[in-house]
Amino acid sequence: MEVINSKDLEKLNALNNHHVLKIVNEFVNLCKPSKVTVITDSIDDIRYVRKRAVELGEEIELNLKGHTVHFDAFFTMSNHDQARDKGNTQVLVPEDEQASYPWINTMEREKGLKEILEIMDGCMKGHECIIRFFCLGPKNSKFSILALQMTDSFYVGHSEDILYRAGYEEFKNLNGSDEFFYFIHSSGELTGDPPVTKNLDKRRIYIDLKEGRVLSVNNQYAGNSLGLKKLALRLGIYKANNEDWLTEHYFIMGVHPKGKTRTSFFCGAFPSACGKTSTAMLPGQTIIGDDIAYLRVWDDGYAHAVNIEKGIFGIIKDVNAKDDPVIFDALTTPRETIFSNVLIKDGTPYWIGDGRETPNDGDSFSGYWNKGIKDINGIEIPHAHPNARYTIGIEELNNADPNLHNPDGVPVHGILYGGRDSDTMPPVIESLNWDHGVFLGATIESETTSATLGAEGVRTHQPMANLDFMVVPLGKYIENHGKFGSKLDSYPKVFATNYFLKNEEGKYLNGILDKLIWVIWAEGRVHNDFRAIETPIGFIPEYLDLKSLFKQYLDKGYKEEDYNQQFSIKPRKILEKLDRIEEMYKKEKNVPEFFWKLLNNQRQDLTHFLNEYAMDEIPPHILK
Q: CATH 2.170.8.10 occupies which residues in the chain?
A: 313-396
The predicted model scores a pTM of 0.95
What is the per-residue pLDDT for 449?
55
CB 106 within 8 A of CB 100: no
Beta partners for 151? 130, 185
Q: Which CATH architecture best describes the domain 6-58+80-240?
A: 3-Layer(aba) Sandwich (3.40)
Residue 376: its pLDDT value, please? Answer: 95
Fold of 313-396: Phosphoenolpyruvate Carboxykinase; domain 2 (2.170.8)
Phi, psi dihedral angles at 443 (to 5 degrees): -115, 20
Q: Are 313 and 391 within 8 A, CB to CB? A: yes
Three-state SS sequence of 550-615:
HHHHHCCCCCHHHHHHHHCECHHHHHHHHHHHHHHHCCCCCCCHHHHHHHHHHHHHHHHHHHHHCC
Between the two ends of the chain, the Cα-to-Cα distance in Å is: 74
The predicted structure's pLDDT at residue 451: 38
Q: Which residues are catalytic?
A: 274
> In the chain, which residues fall in CATH 3.40.449.10?
6-58+80-240
pLDDT value at residue 304: 98
303: closest CA among 343, 346, 345, 244? 244
* CA angle (83, 86, 88) in 5-degree steps: 110
Residues 6+ apart with CB under 8 A from 109: 92, 93, 94, 95, 208, 210
Residue 259's Cβ-count burial label (10 Å; 0-12, 13-18, 19+) is: exposed
Evaluate whether 270 touches 419 at the Cβ level (below 8 Å). Answer: yes
Return d(Cα 152, Cα 481) in angstroms, integer: 39
| pLDDT given at position 274 | 87
How are beta strands 428-430 and 493-497 bridged, if at all? Answer: antiparallel
Burial track 2-30 (b if 16+ CB lie within 10 A, e otherwise): ebbeeebeebbeebebebbeebbeebbeb
**Is there a contact between 447 and 271 (Cβ–Cβ < 8 Å)?**
no
Contact yes or no for 562/607 (Cβ under 8 A): no
Amino acid at 553: Y
Q: CA–CA separation, 25 vs 38, rounded Å?
A: 13
Residue 304, SS3 per DSSP: strand
| Grouped pLDDT means (10 residues each) for the chain, 624 residues | 91 98 98 98 97 98 98 94 90 84 87 98 98 97 97 98 97 96 97 93 96 97 88 95 96 97 97 87 95 96 97 93 91 98 98 97 96 96 96 96 98 96 96 98 82 59 91 93 97 97 92 95 98 97 98 97 96 96 92 97 95 91 85
Beta strands at 303-307 and 293-297: parallel, antiparallel or unpaired: antiparallel
CATH 3.90.228.20 domain residues, the chain: 248-310+405-623
Q: Which of 520, 515, 419, 400 is nearest to 463 (CA)?
A: 419
Phi, psi of 10 (to 5 degrees): -65, -35
As separate numbers, helices (DSSP H) first and strands (DSSP E) second, the chain gives 19, 36
Q: Which CATH class is domain 248-310+405-623?
A: alpha beta
At 84 the pLDDT is 86
10: part of which helix (H) or strand (E)? helix 6-13
What's the rounded Cα separation, in Å, for the pair 190 and 81?
Answer: 13
Cα–Cα dist 145/257, whole Å = 33
Rounded to a whole number of angstroms, the CA Rg of the chain reads 25
